[in-house]
Structure 1
């Protein structure tokens, strides 16, 4: 079989999924991009190309403030989630018998059995003024009155999202740890490295692909999360997705909503690429 025939067969195989991806991914994104250069006056769409929406987005403080808040909240959620996920993944990979690892992974995925919205409502009940946490703290005499800073603010959004996306961080880190050749760790110990230095110089760099994947898997969707800030965020915890929804809905300004969507996606892309580059440099991949 000639190379030309092999190429044709390969193109035939990839054509359906490629066209499918173009129709369902690239098409809508292109439509949003085009829409962002239009303007709307109540029910009338003016299709005259203009950058007025982008000018407004970068000059109006409310847009920059909420976008910055969204990136900060997502960054905190990502760091908290990955930091808490790494010990769990490490324990399952290095300290659980091979025949029981599947059971542990099964238990880790149990939160996916319930609706995402239901989990948010449960956290709302737990973090409430008279919720489980406050009732326990006041009952034990740790605090004199219920805490008010754990619900309807950015703190509640961080707690809820960190729990919701924990499995997404644990699994890729676990896979990366499983691929590490244990003989390398033994060699490091034989050369005189203690457990801490072996972890820092061998385990962590080799597990960095899983850490990078966890960072991206958590950060990218949390920036655009709408339900969690709407339910537990309150005025101080609203994020860019809530503002986008408002423009498409009550504010009746879809082009501005499309503009904010493009700006949010561009910001996430830049931060994601920078994160990958920094992580590779720290792990020695850039040398």
Structure 2
């Protein structure tokens, strides 16, 4: 019974990754692929300032987006789980409604909201906070972070909510009976027990956002360009598939290592708080 699923995973998940890894050790001269083994592509990917800076920016933006998304999503998931009552399903429905629309449409909506004559600038002008429209809201890394946080919030709320729902409420009552206040019982009982959902939400957000291409392209401008743009350029106009593959593999490895360190850091932090 497992065989069809295993074959599906091998054909559509593992095989493409292996092909990309193989390409990363080759070289390309226009349309000709030289299959001689070389590490030159990785040298370029790790030492060229443009690629190194793009990778650092991508990792930074992804980390910030993940932290902000989890920080925003946790209170929402906690409220639904502990105070949603009979309306929990309605709250979850409302949270997932934006996901029914096109991802591209949501990004374009933020482009309008953050624009020179967008909703934010109109609100700031009407309240007298600024005298002229703010130009720093769009076409920079801040716009990328805001857009990605909104786009991935629902994907963070759901695993945190599921984790909170599995907590035995009698444990929290026992903590209160033993003298813990609401904050202390949260830090010693609720937060540690919901940690699997927090880690899952963090990884669900962080891993895809590193390689996001559409959002930086539409709202990032030159200050919001990420590594996916460079990879696309190598597979497209650059006509250098091996270098594009090396950039992809390098990004995957660094993101995997970074995800492991973040998970370890979260566990140590929660343990220290307890």
TM class, shorter-length:
over 0.9
> SS in structure 1 opposite 2:77?
helix
TM-fit CA distance, 1:284? 4.2
Distance in 2 between the 1:280 and 1:84 partners?
19
Distance in 2 between the 1:85 and 1:174 partners?
9
Select which of 162, 176, 179 maps to 1:175. Answer: 162
Q: How does 1:30-69 map to 2 (within 5 A)?
A: 30-69=18-57
Where structure 2 has 5 or more consecutive residues not aligned to the other structure, the ranges are none
| 1:188 maps to 2:175 | yes
| 1:102 maps to 2:109 | no
- The residue that corresponds to 2:191 in the other structure is 204
Q: How does 1:232-247 map to 2 (within 5 A)?
A: 232-247=219-234
| 1:18 maps to 2:6 | yes
Larger Rg: 1 or 2?
1
> SS in structure 2 opposite 1:109?
helix
Q: Normalising by structure 1, what TM-score?
A: 0.93
How many matched pairs? 272
Residues 60-92 of structure 1, C-alpha deviation per residue, up to 9 Å, x if partnerless? 111110000000000000011000000100000
| 1:271 maps to 2:258 | yes
Distance in 2 between the 1:168 and 1:143 partners?
35
- The residue that corresponds to 2:78 in the other structure is 90
Where structure 1 has 5 or more consecutive residues not aligned to the other structure, the ranges are 1-12
> SS in structure 1 opposite 2:194?
helix
- The residue that corresponds to 1:8 in the other structure is none
Distance in 2 between the 1:130 and 1:56 partners?
42
- The residue that corresponds to 2:111 in the other structure is 124
- The residue that corresponds to 2:136 in the other structure is 149
Select which of 198, 202, 207 maps to 1:220. Answer: 207
Q: Normalising by structure 2, what TM-score?
A: 0.97
CA RMSD of aligned residues (A): 1.2
Distance in 2 between the 1:43 and 1:139 partners?
57
Bigger Cα displacement from structure 2, 103-112 vs 42-51: 42-51
